[in-house]
Amino acid sequence: MQFTAKFNALAVAVVAAMVSQVAASPAPVASVVSTDEFLKWLDTTDADITYIGKPINGSVPRAAQDVMVTYCNKRTQNVCGGTCTVYNGPAACLAAGGTACLSATANVGFCDRGGCGGSCNQLSTCGTHLDNGFCFTPGTASIIVPPS
């Protein structure tokens, strides 16, 4: 009788755990940074930055369809830097030859050929995570910015 009562209690606990898993909210995409994290990095980096696309003004709300991407040519240990380009705008294919690492506010793609061709991977599948939400992406020649 004790075994049956304990088994029933265990079964109820397992079912409750399964139900809570179904109701859980989806996890954020790995490597994608928030707008606040992106802007904080911009404010604190000593990288040499070139801006392309729409101007970034932290005090003005961005358009919902805009994605921000930073891509740089150097990795030093776990830090991405050197000469960086920051893009802010809608869906696009960015020429990004010489890119060693990148960070973005959406799940961008990065490709080993220009024109967003060749072999491409998504930021969410980053194999080597760096500090501040960057991903090590050696050999990147172009970046696919998806619609937001």
Q: Which residues partner with 94 through β-bridges?
A: 143
Per-residue model confidence as pLDDT tens for the chain (148 residues): 454 455 444 444 433 444 344 444 444 455 799 999 999 999 999 999 999 999 987 655 566 679 999 999 999 999 999 999 999 999 999 999 999 999 999 999 999 999 999 999 999 999 999 999 999 999 999 999 999 7
Give the pTM: 0.77
Question: What's the number of CA atoms in the CB half-sphere (13 Å) around residue 53?
Answer: 22
Residue with tokens 């992106």: 38
**Segment 49-56 long-range contacts (CB within 8 Å, at least 24 positions apart):** 49/84, 49/85, 49/86, 50/83, 50/84, 50/85, 50/86, 51/85, 51/86, 51/88, 52/85, 52/86, 52/87, 52/94, 53/87, 53/88, 53/89, 53/92, 54/88, 54/89, 55/88, 56/86, 56/88
